[in-house]
Each structure stands twice: as C-alpha cells, then as structure tokens.
Amino acid sequence: MPELPEVETVRRGLAPFFDNATICRVEQRRPDLRFPFGDDFVARLENRQVVSFSRRAKYLLLDLDSGDVLVMHLGMSGSFRWIETEDAEPTQTVEMYHAKGKHPQHDHVIFHVRPADRETIVKIIYNDPRRFGFMVLIPRSELATHPMFVDMGIEPLGNELDGAYLAKLFENRKTSLKAALLNQKFIAGLGNIYVCEALWRTGLSPFNSASTLAGKSGKPLKKADELSNHIREVLQEAIESGGSSLKDHRQADGSLGYFQHNFSVYDREGEACRTPKCSGVIERKVQNGRSTFFCPKCQK
C-alpha cells in the first residue's frame, strides 16, 4: 500500500502535467473503483482547467475552475503513469506501452490533458488491479465537512507538528505511543513503517503510554521535540528517495506510486540494531493488529 511519501512522489511526478492544465478528455472505463465514479464524472471534468494539484494525508486533490475537487486515493495497488504525445487534440487510446505486471485491463481512467506550457496532449493513466483506490468529485466548499476529511488530524509535514503539539495532543492518553501516532484523527497519513522508524530514531519504546511525552507539569519533554523532528525526517528522506526513483521512471514508462526504500528497523526482525554501540536485535510484536518492529535495548 502506498504510504504518504509515495503519494507525495506521485504528486510531484504528475504536477508538471496537471498544474494549470486543461483536462481535454477523460476515458472512464468502468462504473466504479472502490466507490462509484458517479454518473456525471466525465462531464464534470472535461474542458475544465486545473487550478491547483495538492496532497492532504494520502489523498491527491485536483482543484478545478468549476469549484469541484477531484479527490484521488491509490488504495492498495493504484498507480499513475503518463505518455507524452505529439497530438494537439486528444485521440483514441489504442495501444500503449505496458511495464511488466501492468495490464491494460487495469487501466481504469485516462486523462487527456494539455499542460499549461504545451500545445500537445499528455495522457495520464490510472492503473489499479485490485481497485481499492477511488476517485470522487466533491465541491471545494464541502471538502472540510465531508466525512472523508472532517475528522482528519494534522499534516505530519505541516507546521503544526512539534513537540509541544504532540505532548498536548497525547495528554492523559493511556493508549500506547505507537497507537496514538497511528491514529489518523491526530496525525493524518502517518503509516506503520514511518512510526516504527521515527520511534526507533528517538529511542522511544512503542509500548510506552502516549501521555509520557509530557512531564509531570504538562510541559513537553525533550523526547517529544526529537520525535516530531524524526517523524518529519523519515518522511522527507523517503520522499527524496522517491524523487530519485522518479528520475528513473522518466526513462521508463512513467509509472508512479511505488519505490524501494531501505528502512532501519521496519521489516528487520532478528537483525542487528543499527543504533551506534547498541548490541540489540530487532524484534517484531503485533500491536493493535499491526507489526511493530523495535529494538528492546535502546528504545526505552
């Protein structure tokens, strides 16, 4: 499943085509993905101009000049790729190059867009074999109160996240630190892998109670600041490694959404801890139904 850094990589990869583009034609090849597209899906997109292309948590948001926002989620197996054509107008999509494992029957939506700085059409193709992804149109004015967004926590890469915010947010919470960090109502888009990595970097046990980020007086401990910095850091590093994979994709078929990244603790059960001078061995425990990877020696 794509995590936040991968979604951000997709956004950066598609931004040169989507920013201020005109959506000339949309091929919708089935009635639904995880949710129905809605009867007027194509009509509400065609001949619209893109005002902005952004990300909130793991959602991609395409703001249109009509006031609609196309909300896109990659689900478990969704990916985008693009084809730059020589055509001035949209043409029928007949055949396209497919990378290994990308079958044309899973190309569910094709956007024919004219980027702001070009005369020619770029085809942006959404492929999703398992169809847990979705695309829905929501008026911008209803977005904040929409069930999908109304309870959403802060953006982990936004300015609000710092030690004081975390300590306050987790005040008196008996739940574990790991569970609190994964709670999307607190911080949105932060996934299991990056929570494990950030806790390991900070030397904090995932099993501590969330309230321990604050001292007795309620003031945030130094660890709270370190943790918020490490959350940012692990996400930024992954986005940067996604950025380098993006360059490779330009040469290939432009398929976006997945990349290899080396983790320090995640998926390293039984291997030596990488904390300098630590002789610990990484363990895996199931916590709230998810695998937690941690070093019992240096994470206290």
Residue placing its CB nearer to Zn ion in the complex, 108 or 268: 268
Nearest alpha carbon to residue 276 among 245, 298, 294: 298
- Reported as half-sphere exposure (CB side, CA atoms, 13 A), residue 225 has a value of 5
On whether the CB atoms of residues 34 and 8 are closer than 8 A, the answer is no
- Minimum separation from the CB atom of position 45 to Zn ion (A): 51
Each residue 253-282 as x (binds Zn ion by CB under 5 A) or -, in order, gives: --------------------x-x--x-x--
55, 56, 58, 201: the catalytic one is 58
Residue placing its CB nearer to Zn ion in the complex, 153 or 280: 280
- Minimum separation from the CB atom of position 233 to Zn ion (A): 18
11 marked as part of a ligand binding site: no
On whether the CB atoms of residues 109 and 28 are closer than 8 A, the answer is yes
34, 232, 285, 290: the catalytic one is 290
Rule CB under 5 A: choose which of 7, 122, 238, 298 binds Zn ion: 298
On whether the CB atoms of residues 124 and 18 are closer than 8 A, the answer is yes
- Minimum separation from the CB atom of position 195 to Zn ion (A): 17
Residue placing its CB nearer to Zn ion in the complex, 85 or 275: 275
Residue placing its CB nearer to Zn ion in the complex, 153 or 296: 296
Let me know if 290 is a catalytic residue. Answer: yes
Gap between the Cα atoms of 215 and 225, Å rounded:
13
173 marked as part of a ligand binding site: yes
Rule CB under 5 A: choose which of 118, 131, 290, 297 binds Zn ion: 297
140 marked as part of a ligand binding site: no
Let me know if 185 is a catalytic residue. Answer: no
Query: Is 203 an interacting residue with respect to Zn ion (CB under 5 A)?
Result: no
The strand pairing partners of 32, in sequence order, are 36
Residue 295 burial class via C-beta count within 10 angstroms: exposed 0-12, middle 13-18, buried 19 and up:
buried
Let me know if 2 is a catalytic residue. Answer: yes
**8 contacts: CB under 8 Å, gap ≥ 6:** 55, 239, 242
Let me know if 222 is a catalytic residue. Answer: no
3, 6, 8, 197: the catalytic one is 3
Gap between the Cα atoms of 300 and 283, Å rounded:
14
- Minimum separation from the CB atom of position 282 to Zn ion (A): 8
Residue placing its CB nearer to Zn ion in the complex, 70 or 298: 298
Residues 28/31/35/37 CA torsion (nearest 10 deg): 50
Residue 270: strand, helix, or coil: coil
- Minimum separation from the CB atom of position 91 to Zn ion (A): 57
- Give the number of other CB atoms < 10 A from CB of residue 243: 15
Radius of gyration of the chain (CA): 21
Provide the binding-site residues for Zn ion, judged by CB under 5 A. 273, 275, 278, 280, 295, 297-298
Cite the active site residues. 2-3, 58, 290
Instruction: Please state the residue numbers annotated as binding site.
Output: 106, 130, 173
Instruction: Please state the residue numbers annotated as binding site for DNA.
Output: 106, 130, 173
